[in-house]
Structure 1
Amino acid sequence: MQLSTRLSHLSQEQIVFAAAVLLSAVFIFTVPGFDTVSNFSQILERVTVVGILALGASIVVIGGGLDLSQVASAMAGSGLAVLLMNTGWPISIALLVGLLVCVAIGIINGYIIAYIEIPAFFATLATNLVIFGVARVLLFKSTFRLYLDDAVADSPFFVFLSARVFAIPVSTLLFIALVLILYGLLRHTTVGRTLYAIGDNSRTARENGVPVRLYTIFKYTFCSIFGYIAGIVFLSTIHNIDAGVMIGTMIFDVILIVVLGGVSLVGGRGTPFSVLLGAILIGLLLNGMTLLDLNNDLQDVARGLVLLAAIVIDNRLHPRNEETARKGE
């Protein structure tokens, strides 16, 4: 009871911010090389891609859904763009084609969930497997990586996207800009306020004339677009697309950031700033563990414990009632 009472006076964002400050202080005094400018720049670069993915995923979660296919669609769309650019297509056209593929995937996800009424978890898990299989056959073929040609990598677009301004990656500035844009969309437009209403109680929203099915398609499409942006940022950083990322832990990190930051799994709560704070905390944690030379298994254990703690806090702050528990029925 005392824990519940104390937590009730704090938002999850405040808890995460305090944890990030505390973790930074601990690492500064215990981990050699943590407080350098170059390491700070690496932390920002590391959290940018997964942070942009988490921004897209947060739109779906706020609206009461879940997308497990986002990373796969991002890698497929950006992988197609790489193939087109490498064969001489103009960069702008190739990027547009990749974007349209991701938009199509988002629309398909939304349609399956909204009109065929398959639960989001199973629908997006299935499309994730389909996307991965199709991408492996048609795009990646005998290799797990698609490398960007040097001539394309040296183009002004990719040089700018991979540049730094006073040790701050341009891609991180893009991430922050997307946070601000998404905040404005969610908090100051009818579309954004309606998404919160749907996530809070989709049945009530439907009874009040809200086109819930169309909004479902919208949020999954928007999620896929953000995923594609993250895929292009990923491409600009390492100049290749790795199909192994589709079946790796990135989608787990995305969900971890979303939940940790304070975007409630019951829907209807959270902000883009929640995602930003969650991304920063996870970036600090993973960077510190890497500098401490902890193996991947221990890092996975730490991720799992952090996610469990975030879910416990979420349940304490936003307890489920009978209505929220039945929203997925």
Structure 2
Amino acid sequence: MAFLRNLNQERIVFAITIAIFALASLMLPGFFSAENLVAIVRSISVLGILALGMSIIIIGRGIDLSMVAIMAMTVAWYLQMLNDGTPDGFALLLALSGVIAIGLINGFLVAYADVPAIFVTLATASFVFGFVRSQLIDTDAVPVPDGHWIEFIGSLRFADVPIEVFIFAALAFAAFIFLRFSKWGRYVYYAGDNPEAARNAGMPVRPMMVLRYVLSAISAFTAGILTAGSLQSINTRVVNSTLLYDIVLIAVIGGIGLSGGKGGVRNVLVGAALIGIMLNAMTILDIPLLYQNLIKSAILLAAIIIDGLLNPRDEQTAQQGDI
């Protein structure tokens, strides 16, 4: 009975992850090969970086539907400037300025204009995709210039482990320190749990909200750079893929409550491991993409229902309109 009382969503998902990994290793040819394990870890790293940014938003009682658009379109614009002959330092400065500006706009509209985050970030995603694709880049897929440092990062390994893994580990550690040991990180939890009480206690709830969206945008740009390095290009059609749902799925299934104020980096690690292993196993089984999306949608729906049961939204939460 004591064992059952200690069970929570995170521990259950971790046990399921271990079980799926063990079964796949025994039953799927090539799953446990070194090459495939590296591929799994690499995909988990990029998904995990995106999920870290999303989780900081969700813990503070919000949502960011613009992450994939920021990831793809800002990196595509950066690469397009490089291919057009723009000096690297200036191009990177412009791209980063655009990323931070998008995060500031999202945060300002949610925090100070009181527009629900789901509508703000959905509109931002559509605008960023449409503006960049029509005005700033020439094609859907923008290649990395030969000999550029992004190309070098894509091939860089330590002990046969891709650099993405170490970057994800460093960012996960930084996010853990920020959330658990910094004053502003604690504000994220307090505001997510009860924003009105946090504001009445004198916490800078609105500036902290803006900071969260800026951090989310920067994490998306980082994931985009690593993706471009891995593939030697960035394809803007990823904006219309199911990647955004994978990011939300990692956060929710890992145990981060949509009602806010709950969760952390460990939940992201568990959720990313489960989704990464599951997607890899389905690919080896040659399950059509349509059915993969159906399976992921069913898991996401189940996770949201479970989250609603474990973390019921009170009347004050429902009035926030953030999710």
TM-score interval (norm. to shorter): over 0.9
Residue-by-residue CA offset, 1:304-324 (whole Å, 9 max, x unaligned): 122122223322332223333
Contact conserved, 2:257 with 2:307, CA < 8 A, in 1? Answer: yes
How far the C-alpha of 1:261 sits from its partner, in A, is 1.1
Match of residue 276, structure 2, among 275, 283, 308: 283
Using the TM superposition, name which of 272-281 and 195-204 deviates more. Answer: 272-281
Q: How does 1:54-65 map to 2 (within 5 A)?
A: 54-65=51-62
Deviations 1:34-72 (A, max 9, x none): 111100001111122221111111111111100101111
Instruction: Name 1:133's counterpart in structure 2.
Output: 130
Alignment match, 1:203:
196
> For the Cα contact (< 8 Å) 2:141–2:235, is it kept in 1?
yes
- Of 316, 321, 327, 2:309 maps to 316
| Maintained 8 Å contact 1:77/1:228 | yes
Preserved contact between residue 7 and residue 317 of structure 1 (Cα < 8 Å): no
For residue 21 of structure 1, what is the aligned residue in structure 2? Answer: 18
**Equivalent position to 1:147, from 143, 147, 150:** 143
| Structure-1-length-normalised TM-score | 0.93
Measure how far apart 1:186 and its partner are.
Answer: 0.5
For 1:64 and 1:117, locate their aligned partners in 2 and report how far apart those are by CA, in whole Å: 13
Unpaired runs of at least 5, structure 2: none
Q: C-alpha deviations, 1:11-43, integer Å up to 9, x for none?
A: 322112111101001111211111111000011
Aligned match of 2:82: 85
- Cross-structure match for 2:245: 252
How far does residue 96 in structure 1 lie from its aligned partner after superposition?
2.8
Return the letter of the residue paired with 1:145: A
1:161: Cα distance to partner? 4.4
**Post-superposition shift, 1:252?**
1.0
Task: Report the CA distance shift for 1:209/1:300 in structure 2 as closer, same or farther (over 3 A).
Answer: same
1:3-18 alignment, distance < 5 Å: 9-18=6-15
Q: Which runs of 5+ in 1 are unaligned?
A: none
Aligned partner of 1:115 in structure 2 is 112
Instruction: Pick one of 284, 295, 302 that aligns with 2:295.
Output: 302
Higher mean C-alpha displacement, 170-179 vs 86-95 = 86-95
Q: CA deviation at 1:220?
A: 0.6
Query: Hey, what's the Cα distance between the residues in 1 that align with 2:92 and 2:212?
Result: 21
Return 21-30 or 305-314, whichever deviates more.
Answer: 305-314
Paired residue total = 322
- Residue in structure 2 matched with residue 174 of structure 1 by the alignment: 167
The answer to whether the 8 A contact 1:78-1:95 is kept is no
**CA distance in 2: counterparts of 1:192 and 1:43, whole angstroms:** 30
Q: How large is the Cα RMSD of the aligned pairs? A: 1.9
1:327 matched to which residue of 2? 320
Q: 1:7 deviation in Å?
A: 7.2
> Deviations for 1:66-115, whole angstroms, at most 9, x for unmatched residues?
01011111222211211222233443442232111110000001111112
Matched, 1:231 2:228: no
Give, in angstroms, the shift of residue 8 of structure 1: 5.9
